[in-house]
């Protein structure tokens, strides 16, 4: 892959450089609640602008249905991006229409613009090659060079990610370059012991990565809502807890394969439970109780790993040489159920700073939890910007957006 430094050495002054970023930040109205993805792409944009490029930034936000939708506008992001860059960011109110063309035409050397949400155009996500290609043709008319730096979208075969690089000279930005380097450390010549911590709601979302990592990991720790399907597979009752009954046979197979290969599966020994799922907006106390993971009452729902599980998980993390974590241990958005996720995050920082382990937070809710719970991001080896992309890479899949950037 050609890198952004290769591009810069060739000279970009006066050139229109299209940067496909991932600015899919969480919004509460017009307020960005976590600007991590915006911060992650600023080194690439800044370097290009400083070199005199006319920078055209584009991204998706949320899942609009191929038409403009005010709740998914990138306008608030343009303002925040300008603050992070320390320079004005012009905002085009469409993707390839009159506003986009006029805004790009008005750019001077070293200036930056952000296009409106790419998914406001149905061609961006179309499964029809011709429709997607037609939109990519329109985007290509705006630029001279393409830089891919939206790692969180490289697992999507979308126009701006997959089709556009074929139409322009292209290179990878600093973010994607870093993400790929990190993921290679998790799949090639891994320092051992190698611990993988998986959480989140659905075990079905992680089956592919579990299958692939059974060949690579030394131990796999399972928390979050997906843990209850594992507990059920071991013959335990899980009460009202989240359960994917149809996945139990697959989970039983993984447990048997892990045992045969000497891979240690670590499951919760106790859980924090309550009769009902908490109201996350009200944040009212819920009077949770701690129960054994093998004795969850029929009228309770497991919502976090318990104190003994936290100690167990921490011990399996802190003596590892490589740790990959994707998915919270519970409903971390509520203070009554945040301690399991906090314990895992703390263990990763301990492993990184005290044990010199290489620790990776695999994007998505895990990255959000790190910030919400107030952890110093510098204490982790790497915090990914792309949960789904990271998982698919670890599954061994070919990511369309990366394949498109290869020379």
The reply to whether 37 sits in an annotated binding site is yes
Find the distance separating the first CA and the last CA of the chain, reported in whole Å: 6
The reply to whether 287 sits in an annotated binding site is no
The reply to whether 365 sits in an annotated binding site is yes
The reply to whether 206 sits in an annotated binding site is yes
Phi and psi at residue 389, to the nearest 5°: -65, -40
Sign of CA dihedral 172, 176, 179, 180: negative
The reply to whether 340 sits in an annotated binding site is no
37 is annotated as an active-site residue: yes
Distance separating alpha carbons of residues 50 and 144, to the nearest angstrom? 17
The reply to whether 192 sits in an annotated binding site is no
* Torsion of the alpha carbons at 89, 162, 364 and 196, rounded to the nearest 10: -140
Distance separating alpha carbons of residues 155 and 331, to the nearest angstrom? 27
The reply to whether 61 sits in an annotated binding site is yes
| CA neighbor of 150 nearest in space, from 58, 29, 285 | 58
From start to end of 183-309, where are the E strands? 194-198, 219-222, 264-266, 270-274, 289-292, 301-305
Question: Active-site residue among 173, 327, 330, 364?
Answer: 364
The reply to whether 36 sits in an annotated binding site is no
Segment 291-295 long-range contacts (CB within 8 Å, at least 24 positions apart): 293/227, 293/231, 293/236, 293/267, 293/268, 293/269, 294/231, 294/236, 295/236, 295/237
The reply to whether 259 sits in an annotated binding site is no
The reply to whether 80 sits in an annotated binding site is no
Sign of CA dihedral 292, 293, 295, 297: positive
Residues 6 or more apart whose CB falls under 8 angstroms from that of 279 comprise: none
Quote the Cα angle for 52-142-113, to 5°. 55
86 is annotated as an active-site residue: no
Question: Active-site residue among 39, 202, 379, 397?
Answer: 202
The reply to whether 60 sits in an annotated binding site is yes
Question: Active-site residue among 37, 157, 216, 219?
Answer: 37
The reply to whether 30 sits in an annotated binding site is no
The reply to whether 119 sits in an annotated binding site is yes
The reply to whether 87 sits in an annotated binding site is no
Distance separating alpha carbons of residues 150 and 32, to the nearest angstrom? 18
The reply to whether 167 sits in an annotated binding site is no
310 is annotated as an active-site residue: no
Per DSSP, the three-state class of 159 is helix
200 is annotated as an active-site residue: no
Question: Active-site residue among 223, 327, 388, 401?
Answer: 388
The reply to whether 280 sits in an annotated binding site is no
* Torsion of the alpha carbons at 37, 39, 45 and 46, rounded to the nearest 10: -170
The reply to whether 97 sits in an annotated binding site is no
| Burial bucket for residue 12 (CB in 10 Å: 0-12, 13-18, 19+) | buried
**Binding site for ATP: which residues?**
206, 302, 333, 363-366
- In the annotated binding site, the residues are 22-24, 37, 60-63, 119, 156, 206, 302, 333, 363-366
Annotated binding site for (2R)-3-phosphoglycerate: 37, 119, 156
Binding residues for substrate: 22-24, 37, 60-63, 119, 156
**Catalytic residue set:** 37, 202, 364, 388
């Amino acid at each position: 892959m050609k890198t952004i430094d290769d591009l810069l050495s060739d000279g970009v002054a006066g050139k229109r450089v299209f940067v496909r970023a991932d600015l899919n930040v969480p919004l509460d109205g017009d307020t960005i609640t976590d600007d991590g993805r915006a911060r992650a792409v600023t080194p690439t944009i800044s370097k290009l602008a400083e070199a005199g490029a006319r920078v055209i930034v584009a991204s998706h936000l949320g899942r609009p249905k191929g038409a403009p939708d005010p709740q998914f506008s990138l306008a608030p992001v343009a303002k925040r991006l300008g603050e992070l860059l320390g320079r004005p960011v012009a905002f085009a109110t469409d993707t390839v229409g009159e506003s986009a063309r006029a805004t790009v035409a008005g750019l001077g050397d070293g200036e930056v613009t952000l296009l409106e949400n790419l998914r406001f155009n149905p061609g961006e996500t179309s499964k029809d090659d011709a429709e997607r290609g037609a939109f990519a043709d329109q985007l290509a008319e705006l630029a001279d060079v393409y830089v891919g730096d939206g790692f969180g979208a490289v697992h999507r075969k979308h126009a701006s990610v997959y089709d556009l690089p074929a139409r322009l000279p292209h290179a990878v930005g600093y973010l994607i370059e870093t993400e790929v380097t990190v993921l290679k450390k998790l799949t090639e010549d891994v320092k051992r012991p190698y611990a993988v911590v998986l959480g989140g709601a659905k075990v079905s979302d992680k089956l592919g990565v579990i299958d692939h990592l059974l060949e690579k990991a030394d131990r796999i720790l399972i928390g979050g809502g997906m843990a209850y399907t594992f507990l059920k597979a071991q013959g335990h009752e899980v009460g009202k807890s989240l359960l994917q009954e149809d996945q139990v046979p697959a989970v039983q197979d993984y447990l048997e394969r892990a045992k045969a290969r000497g891979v240690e599966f670590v499951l919760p020994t106790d859980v924090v439970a309550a009769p009902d799922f908490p109201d996350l907006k009200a944040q009212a106390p819920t009077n949770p109780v701690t129960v054994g993971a093998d004795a969850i009452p029929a009228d309770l729902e497991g919502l976090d790993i318990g104190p003994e599980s936290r100690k167990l998980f921490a011990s399996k993390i802190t003596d590892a040489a490589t740790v990959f974590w994707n998915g919270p241990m519970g409903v971390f958005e509520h203070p009554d159920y945040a301690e399991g996720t906090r314990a895992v995050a703390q263990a990763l920082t301990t492993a990184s700073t005290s044990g010199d382990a290489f620790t990776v937070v695999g994007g998505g809710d895990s990255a959000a939890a790190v910030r919400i719970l107030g952890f110093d991001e510098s204490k982790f080896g790497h915090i990914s910007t792309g949960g789904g992309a990271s998982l698919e890479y670890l599954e061994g899949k070919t990511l369309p957006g990366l394949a498109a950037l290869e020379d």
